[in-house]
Structure 1
Amino acid sequence: MSQESTDILSPDHFPPPVPWAPAAVRLLQGIVYHDDAGDAWERILAGLTPLSDYFARIGLMLVVNEEDGFAYLRQIDSTVLPPDYPPLPKLFRSVRLTFEASLLCVLLRDELRRFEEEIHRDGRCVVTQASLLELWQSLIPGDHDAIRSNRALGSNLRKLEELKFVRQFEKNPASWEVRRILKARLPLAELERLRVDLEAELKRRAEASDDAAANVSTDDTAENSDD
């Protein structure tokens, strides 16, 4: 290692420590909730101004929802950055959800909205996997195998858990907490747009399933005629 590199890494060249540094690292890792282990949430609230300034310099916006208890980073559109800012590469990549995962997001978002409107604003929105399975099977055309459907549902729930949209509440019987970040990721206007797109896709799949069943019936009739 060169002398120059050694000097840069020496303790004498480090800037003074800041109390919000651990919170900054946690935010770069993903969503931070008020009930996560550790004190990241408290550090975020205590260091809102320096954290916001720090992230803005690298093209990121710190979003803090104190009411629902979560914080996350969002990429700032390059068109709104000051003209003297250099072009900044994107830090976050967009995650494209599958049709099934998107459908599950809509179901969970509806559960969260119903929970907040009809029950109470505070507390955890917890849904059982069994109740989700009933909705899931009613929407996915041609899938009447409960075991296979439950396996597919569980797989998609785990994908959403990686994104911190849900968190497993209990394992047996399986239940899931719907996290309120879904309101930020899927606001009502976006929810309705996505719902229209999904309903159109469901209709197309149902029609395709009916056509396939009709073709099988026609083939069976032809075979019987030959006999």
Structure 2
Amino acid sequence: MTEPDLPVAVTQLMKGVVYRDTHDRAWNQLLQLQPQVRDHVAVLGLQVVVDEAEGYAFLRQRPPDEDPERQLPRLIPRHALSFPVSLLLALLRKKLAEFDAQGGDSRLMLSRGQIAEMIRVFMPATSNEARLIDRIDEHIGKAEQLGFLRQAKNGEQVYEVRRLLKAFVDAQWLADFDAKLAEYAAALAGGRDEGAEGEGG
């Protein structure tokens, strides 16, 4: 058994999400040292979120302190997502829920074409097909940059939907988004496409 090594666990967490399948050593150290890791990062105003069942862990900013004198600078940045990216994450989350309900393989793999078709039906109609494809690729790239998609190592345009998405898109978020999506679909059906590229909250 490897001796517990707190710096290994904390350093990997500070760099980003720790995955059981890609950060084997840091993951094992984290599981052995959870109380110490929590105490260590708490000094920085952070919390550790560990999902052993899904195999990932990450740091989250602690809720703001009511005393402004004790308020620490934010270490974990917030990401302002455009509506299409929020839409893509919601669609991927639903796909993951459907996939889990079927059982079987634990990894959901989707081709770029499958992902593009999921979001295309919600995009404003355009005669410029090349521009539409470029925009969809930008949204897929953003989801990959945020860590919710991971491209397969074989070079093909196939992506794994990372289970980390479940921690950021919960049932309530999906329910709220469904209501917004219905309004958006109605607007598209009426020929209005304003706000398609606006910033989401």
Give the alignment's TM-score, normalised by structure 2.
0.83
Give the corresponding residue for 2:94: 110
List per-residue Cα deviations over 1:117-162 (Å, max 9, x = no partner). 0233x52111122122222222212136554433322221121111
Could you say which structure has the higher helix fraction?
A: 1
One-letter amino acid of the counterpart of residue 116, structure 1: D
Change (3 A) 1:62 1:37: closer
CA distance in 2, matches of 1:144, 1:40: 49
Give the corresponding residue for 1:96: 80
Give the corresponding residue for 1:57: 43
Shift of 1:37: 4.5
CA distance in 2, matches of 1:199, 1:92: 32
Give the corresponding residue for 2:71: 87
CA distance in 2, matches of 1:37, 1:66: 13
Equivalent pair of 1:126/1:175 in contact (CA under 8 Å): yes
CA distance in 2, matches of 1:64, 1:32: 9
Give the corresponding residue for 2:161: 178
CA distance in 1, matches of 2:155, 2:176: 33
Give the corresponding residue for 2:196: none
One-letter amino acid of the counterpart of residue 13, structure 2: L
Q: Note if 1:41 corresponds to 2:27.
A: yes
Shift of 1:65: 0.3
Equivalent pair of 1:141/1:202 in contact (CA under 8 Å): no
Determine helix, strand or coil for the equivalent of 1:44.
Answer: helix
Equivalent pair of 2:65/2:71 in contact (CA under 8 Å): no
Q: CA RMSD in A?
A: 2.5
Among residues 138, 146, 149, which one is paired with 2:132 in the alignment? 149
One-letter amino acid of the counterpart of residue 151, structure 1: D
Give the corresponding residue for 1:189: 172
Give the corresponding residue for 1:29: 15
Determine helix, strand or coil for the equivalent of 1:139.
Answer: coil
List per-residue Cα deviations over 1:78-104 (Å, max 9, x = no partner). 348xx8x93222212210111111111
Give the corresponding residue for 2:186: 203
One-letter amino acid of the counterpart of residue 10, structure 2: A
One-letter amino acid of the counterpart of residue 24, structure 1: V
One-letter amino acid of the counterpart of residue 90, structure 2: V
The percentage of aligned residue pairs carrying the same residue is 30
Larger Rg: 1
The gaps in structure 2 that reach 5 residues or longer are 194-201
Deviates further, 34-43 or 92-101:
34-43
Shift of 1:55: 1.1
Equivalent pair of 2:17/2:56 in contact (CA under 8 Å): yes
One-letter amino acid of the counterpart of residue 62, structure 1: V
Change (3 A) 1:204 1:31: same
CA distance in 2, matches of 1:199, 1:143: 20
The gaps in structure 1 that reach 5 residues or longer are 1-17, 211-227
